[in-house]
C-alpha cells in the first residue's frame, strides 16, 4: 500500500512540476478570501485518485478538492486522505514550499503516510510500526529538552481572519518562549519537518484532516507526539494540533493551554 501511495504522490507531483514552469498561465480560483485553488490542484488530485483506485477500487477517498467519495461512511475500513497540493498560495507565487500529502486511514488509524516535496525531491514515508523515512533513510525527531532552544513552526489564518488577534497572542507567547518561530505556509510539510528534525515543534488551529493525517504518522513513527492544544489524541478531525518531540511537546501544551478551547 505504501508503494502505491508513493506512485500516486509522484504522479500528482509530476503535474505540479510541469505547471511550476508556467505559473503566469495558471487559472486561479478563490474559494473564499485568500483560499485559492488552481486547475493544477484538481488535476493532481485526480491523478492521485486514479492511481489509488486502480489498485484499490473499493477504498474510500477524502480529498481536499473533490471532498468525500460516494462510498465514504463511518464504517469504512480503508480511507485515503489526500491533499494534492498543500501550500497552493506558495505555489502560485513561485515560493518553493509546498507538497503532496497522502495518508491511509484503516479502521480509524493512520497506517500509511507519504509527503512528497517536488521542489526538493524529498520523499517522506511511514508505515505504522515500521518507522519514518526521508529518501529511504530513517528519521527521528530532535532530542532538544528545552523549548527555549527549539525552532518552532506554525500557521496563521489566511481566509477567516476573525481569530487573527488570538493568533497574534499565541505568536507573542511562543516567540518569547522559543529560539524562533517560522510560518512557511504548508502545514503538511511543516509536520514532516518536525519528523526529520528540521523543526522541533509545530502548532496550528483549524486544520483539516488532509493537512494533518500523513504528517501525524511521520511524527509518531519518528518518536514524536501529536495532540490537540489540550494534549489529547483526537486531533485529526478537531484540527487544533501540537506536534513535537516529547519534552518540547509537554512545554508547548502548557504554554498554549489558554487557547485549548
- Rounded to 5 degrees, φ, ψ at 7 are -60, -45
What local confidence, expressed as pLDDT, does residue 27 receive? 74
Each residue's pLDDT, cut to its tens digit, for the chain (261 residues) gives 999 999 999 999 999 999 899 888 877 777 655 456 778 889 999 999 999 999 999 999 999 989 999 888 877 899 999 999 999 999 999 999 999 999 999 999 999 999 999 999 999 999 999 999 999 999 999 999 999 999 999 998 676 777 789 999 999 999 999 999 999 999 999 999 999 999 999 999 999 999 999 999 999 999 999 999 999 999 999 989 999 999 999 999 999 999 987
Rounded to whole angstroms, how far apart are CA atoms 185 and 180? 16
Q: Using DSSP bridges, classify how beta strands 180-182 and 151-154 pair: parallel, antiparallel or unpaired.
A: parallel
What distance lies between CA 221 and its chain's CA centroid?
A: 15
What local confidence, expressed as pLDDT, does residue 73 receive? 83
What local confidence, expressed as pLDDT, does residue 34 receive? 47
Radius of gyration of the chain (CA): 17
Rounded to whole angstroms, how far apart are CA atoms 222 and 199? 13
E strands, the chain, in order: 28-32, 35-38, 60-63, 67-68, 78-86, 99-106, 109-117, 122-127, 132-134, 137-138, 151-154, 180-182, 201-204, 225-227, 241-244
Q: What is the biggest distance separating any 2 CA atoms in the chain, rounded to whole angstroms? A: 50
What domains, with CATH codes, occur in the chain?
A: 2-138 (3.30.540.10), 147-259 (3.40.190.80)
Which residues is 30 bridged to in the sheet?
36
Q: In the 8-state DSSP scheme, what is residue 231?
A: S
What local confidence, expressed as pLDDT, does residue 75 receive? 74
Handedness of CA 13, 37, 89, 115 (dihedral sign): negative
Amino acid at each position: 500500500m505504501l508503494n502505491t501511495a508513493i506512485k500516486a504522490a509522484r504522479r500528482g507531483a509530476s503535474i505540479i512540476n510541469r505547471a511550476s514552469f508556467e505559473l503566469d498561465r495558471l487559472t486561479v480560483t478563490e474559494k473564499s478570501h485568500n483560499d485559492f485553488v488552481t486547475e493544477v490542484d484538481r488535476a493532481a488530485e485526480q491523478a492521485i485518485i486514479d492511481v489509488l483506485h486502480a489498485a484499490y477500487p473499493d477504498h474510500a477517498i477524502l480529498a481536499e478538492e473533490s471532498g468525500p467519495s460516494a462510498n465514504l461512511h463511518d464504517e469504512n475500513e480503508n480511507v485515503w486522505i489526500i491533499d494534492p497540493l498543500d501550500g497552493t498560495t506558495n505555489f502560485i507565487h513561485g515560493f518553493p514550499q509546498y507538497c503532496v500529502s497522502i495518508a491511509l486511514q484503516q479502521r480509524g488509524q493512520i497506517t500509511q503516510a507519504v509527503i512528497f516535496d517536488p521542489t526538493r525531491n524529498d520523499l517522506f514515508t511511514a508505515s505504522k510500526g515500521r518507522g519514518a523515512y526521508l529518501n529511504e533513510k530513517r528519521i527521528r525527531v530532535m532530542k532538544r529538552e528545552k523549548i527555549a532552544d527549539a525552532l518552532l513552526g506554525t500557521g496563521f489564518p489566511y481566509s477567516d481572519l476573525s481569530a487573527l488577534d488570538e493568533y497574534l497572542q499565541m505568536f507573542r507567547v511562543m516567540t518569547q518562549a522559543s529560539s524562533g518561530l517560522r510560518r512557511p505556509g504548508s502545514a503538511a510539510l511543516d509536520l514532516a519537518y518536525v519528523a526529520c528534525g528540521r523543526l522541533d515543534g509545530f502548532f496550528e488551529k483549524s486544520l483539516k484532516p488532509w493537512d494533518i493525517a500523513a504528517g501525524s504518522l511521520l511524527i509518531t513513527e519518528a518518536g514524536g507526539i501529536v495532540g490537540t492544544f489540550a494534549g489529547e489524541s483526537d486531533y485529526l478531525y478537531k484540527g487544533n494540533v501540537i506536534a513535537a518531540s516529547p519534552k518540547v511537546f509537554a512545554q508547548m501544551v502548557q504554554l498554549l493551554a489558554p487557547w485549548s478551547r
